[in-house]
Amino acid sequence: MIRNIICSLLALLSSLCMHAQLTVAEDCAIKDGDITAYRMNDLDPYINEDGDTIPFAIVRVGLVEPNATFDSKWVLKQEFKDGEYWVYFMEGVKSVTVKTKRFTPLHYKFPEALKAKSTYVMSIHRPEGEKYKGQLNISSNVPQAQVYVDGAKVSDGTPFTYTGEGGTHLVELKADGYDTQSRQIDVPMGQQLNVTINLFTTGSLSVDGVGYGMVPIEAKTFTMGDQTNYYTMPVRKVSLRPFSAGITLVSVDLWEKVMGEADSRIKGSDGQVINVSYDEIQDFITALNAKTGKEFRLPTEAEWEFMVKNARSLGIHDIGSSMEWCNDWFGKYSLNDTTNPQGPEEGVLRSVRGGTEYTDSDPIYTMPTYRWRKQPDKSSPLISFRLVMDN
């Protein structure tokens, strides 16, 4: 009984330590010369459900903590921009409660009631101490890449371990001849996080600072298929038109930039997208093409088999190490379909290459010619994808 009480007290003390309170570093005050709130009231007025225009004040809060909320029935809205929270309050507000996931709520009383059309600033600090810091182990395909965290240079090369306050940080990697890559990364407090940020040569695809390197592939003829089973026959010569292929699997960072969010279920251990269906990928490709004006697509089975057989000479990574969606409907090969083969015109299952969902370890599953299939609306944590496009 006593032992249980002691354990409970220790757990409570630990919880209290890990959930220390935010502190106000700079009290809320009107920012002289800042007419943002005045202009916003005129240019973008807040109108309630009854059609009434509600005058408001804006409080710009400096707080380096993700997903903070400002709790008051007088808060009209809040947004995070330019590295701070902008909170829109109704006139006359006297207090607010600041809530975060990791710290106890901060109940703050304004020095004076807020005035409409006025812009205020204040600063809130998180608790200090080693237990509130986290480590970010950064690696890259370019060892000489310079590492910047929140705009400050912290290393002249990778791999590099950054130790800093837990929370969201802007990490950038830069190197001559490569496009700069940037990531907003949530560093877990009191823990370590491994992250790989690859650089791509200048001119590669980039969406809001997240790149995707591609390699051009000339028109080629190669031997496709084998004699191991019904669906890998017949063996025949196949000719491919020129195309460009993704050097790596599509990353969660790129998916998030294109789609606006990335659910935890799609995050692979190396930062690649997993567990998305063929249909979901088509939505992603449609959005990506709209953003870039290009025509990306999934590779055909023929393109994928050529890439996996020549990955090293082409400079393509990760191919064959995991399963990947292809664009073809699954079906038996046709003897006549030998020039840029696209697979059957219709079907029920889409082709998947690079392995199987069977649990046994038959070496046939690792062969570059082995074929798998799956319903287009189904997903698997074993299946990723890469992009290609016609040259």
Compute the distance between CA of residue 102 and CA of residue 94 in angstroms, rounded to an integer. 25
Task: Return the higher-pLDDT residue of 15 and 224.
Answer: 224
Distances (CA, A) of 216 to 180, 212, 239, 280: 21, 13, 16, 26
What is the domain-level CATH number for residue 145?
Answer: 2.60.40.1120
What is the domain-level CATH number for residue 237?
Answer: 3.90.1580.10
Same domain? For 87 and 146 the reply is: no
| Under 8 Å between Cβ of 172 and 208 | no
Lowest mean pLDDT among 42-46, 144-148, 314-318, 341-345: 314-318
* 4 in a structural domain: no
Q: What sign does the dihedral 36-37-38-42 (CA atoms) show?
A: positive
Q: What sign does the dihedral 28-29-33-34 (CA atoms) show?
A: positive
* 370 in a structural domain: yes
Same domain? For 141 and 250 the reply is: no
pLDDT, residue 10, reads 40
pLDDT, residue 19, reads 53
Compute the distance between CA of residue 158 and CA of residue 146 in angstroms, rounded to an integer. 8
pLDDT, residue 294, reads 92
* 199 in a structural domain: yes
Q: In the predicted model, is pLDDT for residue 127 greater than 80?
A: no
Listing DSSP states for 350-377 in one string gives EEEES--S-SS--GGGGSTT-EEEE-TT
The residue range of the domain holding 100 is: 20-125
Query: Which residues pair with residue 167 across a beta bridge?
Result: 187
pLDDT, residue 337, reads 80
- 348-352-358-359 Cα dihedral, nearest 10 degrees: -150
Q: In the predicted model, is pLDDT for residue 12 greater than 50?
A: no
pTM of the model: 0.60
| Under 8 Å between Cβ of 351 and 343 | yes
Compute the distance between CA of residue 77 and CA of residue 75 in angstroms, rounded to an integer. 6
Same domain? For 83 and 195 the reply is: no
* 5 in a structural domain: no
Tell me what the mean pLDDT of segment 307-333 comes to: 93
Name the domain boundary from 125, 156, 184: 125
pLDDT, residue 348, reads 97
* 350 in a structural domain: yes
Compute the distance between CA of residue 127 and CA of residue 124 in angstroms, rounded to an integer. 10
Q: In the predicted model, is pLDDT for residue 8 greater than 60?
A: no
Contacts of 311 (CB under 8 A, 6+ apart): 317, 319, 320
CA atoms within 13 A on the CB side of 98: 27
Distances (CA, A) of 345 to 242, 247, 285, 289, 327: 22, 28, 20, 23, 11
pLDDT classification of 379: cutoffs 50, 70, 90 = very high
Same domain? For 381 and 250 the reply is: yes
Name the domain boundary from 90, 125, 160: 125
| Strands 350-353 vs 323-329: parallel, antiparallel or unpaired | antiparallel
- 127-253-290-305 Cα dihedral, nearest 10 degrees: 180
| Strands 178-179 vs 200-201: parallel, antiparallel or unpaired | antiparallel
Listing DSSP states for 17-28 in one string gives HHTPBPEEEEEE
Distances (CA, A) of 237 to 89, 135, 211, 345: 70, 52, 35, 21
Same domain? For 226 and 264 the reply is: yes
pLDDT, residue 131, reads 62
Task: Return the higher-pLDDT residue of 10 and 34.
Answer: 34
pLDDT, residue 235, reads 94
Same domain? For 185 and 63 the reply is: no
Compute the distance between CA of residue 255 and CA of residue 183 in angstroms, rounded to an integer. 13
How many folded domains does the chain comprise?
3
Same domain? For 63 and 116 the reply is: yes
* 6 in a structural domain: no
* 15 in a structural domain: no
Q: In the predicted model, is pLDDT for residue 262 greater than 80?
A: yes
Cβ burial of 231 (10 Å; 0-12, 13-18, 19+) is: middle
Same domain? For 105 and 180 the reply is: no
Same domain? For 254 and 342 the reply is: yes
Compute the distance between CA of residue 122 and CA of residue 60 in angstroms, rounded to an integer. 6
Q: In the predicted model, is pLDDT for residue 129 greater than 70?
A: no
Compute the distance between CA of residue 301 and CA of residue 328 in angstroms, rounded to an integer. 7
Same domain? For 307 and 323 the reply is: yes
Report the mean per-residue pLDDT for the chain: 89
Name the domain boundary from 71, 104, 125: 125
pLDDT, residue 361, reads 83
Same domain? For 268 and 308 the reply is: yes
Same domain? For 164 and 52 the reply is: no
